[in-house]
Structure 1
Amino acid sequence: MNAYFKIKEKGSTIRTEVLAGITTFMTMAYILAVNPSILSAAGMDASSVFAATALSSAIATAIMALYANLPVGLAPGMGLNAFFAFSVCLGMGYSWQFALTAVFLEGLIFILLTITNLREAILNCIPFDLKKAISAGIGLFIAFIGLQGSGIVIDNPATLVSMGNITSPNAIVTIIGLFAVSVMLIYKICGALLYGILFATVIGAFLGVTKLDTLSASSFLTLPSFAPTFWQFDFSQVFTTDMLFVLTTFLFVDLFDTVGTLVGVATKGNLLDKDGRLPEAKQAFLADAMGTCIGAVLGTSAVTSYVESASGVAAGGRTGLTALVIAVFFFISLLLAPIFLLIPSAATAPALIVVGLFMISPIKEIDFDNFSVSIPVFITIIGMPLTYSIAHGIAWGVISYVIINISMGKFKEIHPLTYILALLFIAKFIIE
């Protein structure tokens, strides 16, 4: 084991790697509750989504461990699942089978792009500040979804949105859960999001929000079924503009998410080479792409590398053994389906709100005094929550960036692929 993972060579020990893996799993495990809650809003079977989430995370993370030898955990990505459910299915009106097909195709394309080394070229076509804006916009969008799910924010025919009844049981559960998560984060308690979700679920039981009637001893003896979502693809609309639009959005959000996570985690763990590059980047990208394909087949949104892996790296994890431990725990979690499936949306809402905070933090790196940058950035950020679409936020951000910089005569500073993207987005809006 030491020879395969090069544990001593990277300055670690087996004990440290195991503890690091447990640490990362605890910080990631909230996705087991949140993902079924989000994707069930699109009409998917929550039990099957839970199974797909746990197994795809286990397999993808195991590939990362054994092939890339990196201490990085993978699971269905936040933001990607929101785009899947609330933009593609509820916003555009497409079936979840259509969305799963787009995820599967995205994974196949990523495999091809990784093998041919084109992934980096695509990444470079989007300006640095717009990448940060996309993360921030998704953060606001996810937080908005959490506030909606709790009933704290409701629709209003006069003002579009307004504050709901914060004394309702759902709102109280969310507020208490958010307070608990906040305190644990302040005191740097590992697994704060997961503990906050579980604590809010317990509070919900006393308020009638958490339904305990589905929980029984026999329910723990039966594994959740994959059948309702397994290989549920709809290839009838593959060659449509909407599929191209959805697929492009999945590609770019997943691409930025993965690259940003890998670079951030590798930097924290001192895993970059002397030129600032990650030697195992290609293997890591392949693990991510294969995980996305596997997740789509099983029945979940795109699987991606998790920034929470930094917690394990901070605990000393340096090799794939850390990731292998994470994979084992995701596999074991299949036995805990009854517990995760009784968690109400009001209890997962605090996690969504706090994840929104995590994702919006990159805006501090943006130069808002440079209006040729800050205006497209601002349009991207507010476009996502206000149009209830991640895709529209990205589209308007790219279009406005190209138009503003053309008007300033900065033709050569715009990547050729960015021009193509802007034209595709404009064509999409015209056709609509």
Structure 2
Amino acid sequence: MGTKDTSFLEKRFKLSENKTTVRTEFLAGFTSFVTVAYILVVNPIILSDAGMDKDALFTTTILASIIGTLAMSLFANYPFVLAPGMGLNAFFAYSVVLNMGYSWQFALTAVFIEGLIFIVLTFLNVREAIIEAIPINIKHAVSVGIGLFIAFLGLRSAGIIVADPEGTLIKLGDVTEYGPLVTIIGLIITGVLVAKDIKGGLLIGIIASTIVGIPFDITPMPSKVIDLPPSIKPIAFQFVGFDQIFSWDMLIVLFTFLFVDLFDTIGTLLGVASKADMLDDDGNLPGAKPALFADAVGTTFGAVLGTSTVTTTVESAAGVAEGGRTGLTSLVTTVFFALALLFSPILTIIPAQATAPALIIVGLFMMSPITKIDLNDFTEAIPAFLTIIMMPLAFSIAEGLVFGMVSYVLLKVFTGRGREASPILYILSILFVLKYIGL
């Protein structure tokens, strides 16, 4: 890359100020893309269960990811990747459509309204105020909790940890099977690369694991290299009428989407930012408003194109762990999203067992902020611990954050230190309690 290009990128993304380079940002962006690429395949599978066109969903998932991630790059200059959220898409398909009986168009309309509300809340600084109200020890705990959560995702996708409905809920899978074995080999390879401080170690580990999977029949061989993306016409601009928009049912579904996405996004932003040392001395994220705006824009346009809530992904931590510190990382990821529209046959051969080692290692990287948590003050340590442990156990970043915030308020109040919790934290805790008791 020429001096002129480097100079432009330096000025646009403030690389020196953020102690990074074009090469580091490129590797980080590609690593983020490879780690998050499974969403491009899994999201269509999940949403197609709700009756949506699976082929169209593949194109829409990529387009929505491009819009959200590009907005994060250009507006916020942060290395975070946006894509349709795992968990939120499951709620969309299995709870709202299949369980509650609403049409997928109804659920899509709720997501669209959610995005518009988030844009308004961002302009009014409501979401930013919530971030600032969260105690600093909980902010650091979020990073640790996400570390456990993302490592658990890797272990589960590899088949190393499996469900055990008749015993202890989960248990060790058969690690002699080819899938877990590929992940274990990949974990050793990635671990050695990281231990030797080799640049791009996570990415090299993913590629190596994919190659290891070939003789085990875990990595399929592509039938072709390039393919044109399917049309999004069957699912784009599919909204219900005003008679269903202004209804009690819509309010209930909308509130759930708002609740989960709001705290899932805040938790992810804080967790990844804490790991990257992006939080200031007060524990706040500088430039949080444009980052939240990018998230809201991604959700709104994603719904227009025909997909569930677009949010900041926990897999962004892979790029941060690789050294990504600016929006150049997310810009590189956006470019690879665009290429994925044509090179989907190559993209889809990367198995979950190959990305699992990277997720497990990133889980370790995310643990480092635990040293910043005050473990001597139990009114701080207990909420931080609950935040950490509830994320993987409840399988939700949002729920872990809620447990931490509510316990923080209660412990401060009952130990006579209620003034240490902000008024916003009190309001949120009351709303959380009301939600859980069904009011």
User: TM-score of the superposition, structure 2-length normalised?
Assistant: 0.77
Cα distance, 1:254 vs structure 2? 1.1
User: Which one of the candidate residues 189, 192, 195 is aligned to 1:186?
Assistant: 195
Cα distance, 1:103 vs structure 2? 5.3
**Aligned CA distance change for structure 1 residues 149 and 9 (closer, same or farther; 3 Å):** closer
**Aligned CA distance change for structure 1 residues 369 and 21 (closer, same or farther; 3 Å):** closer
Cα distance, 1:43 vs structure 2? 4.5
**Aligned CA distance change for structure 1 residues 301 and 427 (closer, same or farther; 3 Å):** same
Task: State the partner residue of 1:290.
Answer: 297
Sequence identity (%):
39
Tell me the distance in 1 between the aligned counterparts of 2:73 and 2:271: 19
User: Which one of the candidate residues 4, 7, 10 is aligned to 2:11?
Assistant: 7
Cα contact 2:134–2:425 (8 A) shared by 1: yes
Counting only pairs closer than 5 Å after superposition, residues 14-413 of structure 1 correspond to structure 2 as 19=23, 21-36=25-40, 39=43, 42-44=46-48, 51-67=59-75, 70=77, 72-76=78-82, 81-84=85-88, 97=104, 104-156=112-164, 157-212=166-221, 215-217=222-224, 220-226=226-232, 230=236, 237-240=249-252, 243-258=254-269, 282-298=289-305, 299=307, 301-304=309-312, 306=316, 324-413=331-420
Cα contact 1:384–1:393 (8 A) shared by 2: yes
**Counterpart amino acid of residue 111 in structure 1:** I
**Aligned CA distance change for structure 1 residues 343 and 121 (closer, same or farther; 3 Å):** same
Tell me the distance in 1 between the aligned counterparts of 2:139 and 2:383: 11
Tell me the distance in 1 between the aligned counterparts of 2:389 and 2:68: 33
Cα distance, 1:370 vs structure 2? 1.3
**Counterpart amino acid of residue 169 in structure 1:** Y
**Aligned CA distance change for structure 1 residues 107 and 399 (closer, same or farther; 3 Å):** same
SS at match of 1:346: helix
**Counterpart amino acid of residue 367 in structure 2:** I
Aligned residues: 414
**Aligned CA distance change for structure 1 residues 411 and 109 (closer, same or farther; 3 Å):** same
**Counterpart amino acid of residue 60 in structure 1:** G
Cα distance, 1:259 vs structure 2? 5.4
SS at match of 1:420: helix
SS at match of 2:358: helix
Cα distance, 1:407 vs structure 2? 0.7
SS at match of 1:211: coil
Tell me the distance in 1 between the aligned counterparts of 2:323 and 2:182: 33
Tell me the distance in 2 between the aligned counterparts of 1:158 and 1:329: 43
**Aligned CA distance change for structure 1 residues 427 and 244 (closer, same or farther; 3 Å):** same
**Aligned CA distance change for structure 1 residues 188 and 328 (closer, same or farther; 3 Å):** same
Tell me the distance in 1 between the aligned counterparts of 2:354 and 2:294: 31
RMSD, aligned CA: 4.1
Tell me the distance in 2 between the aligned counterparts of 1:177 and 1:103: 38
SS at match of 2:81: strand
**Aligned CA distance change for structure 1 residues 100 and 226 (closer, same or farther; 3 Å):** same
User: TM-score of the superposition, structure 1-length normalised?
Assistant: 0.78
SS at match of 1:375: helix
Tell me the distance in 1 between the aligned counterparts of 2:412 and 2:239: 40
Unmatched 5+ stretches in structure 2: none
Cα contact 1:17–1:321 (8 A) shared by 2: no
**Counterpart amino acid of residue 181 in structure 1:** T
- 1:327-356 Cα offsets, whole Å, 9 max, x none, are 334322322211222222222322332332
Cα distance, 1:408 vs structure 2? 0.9
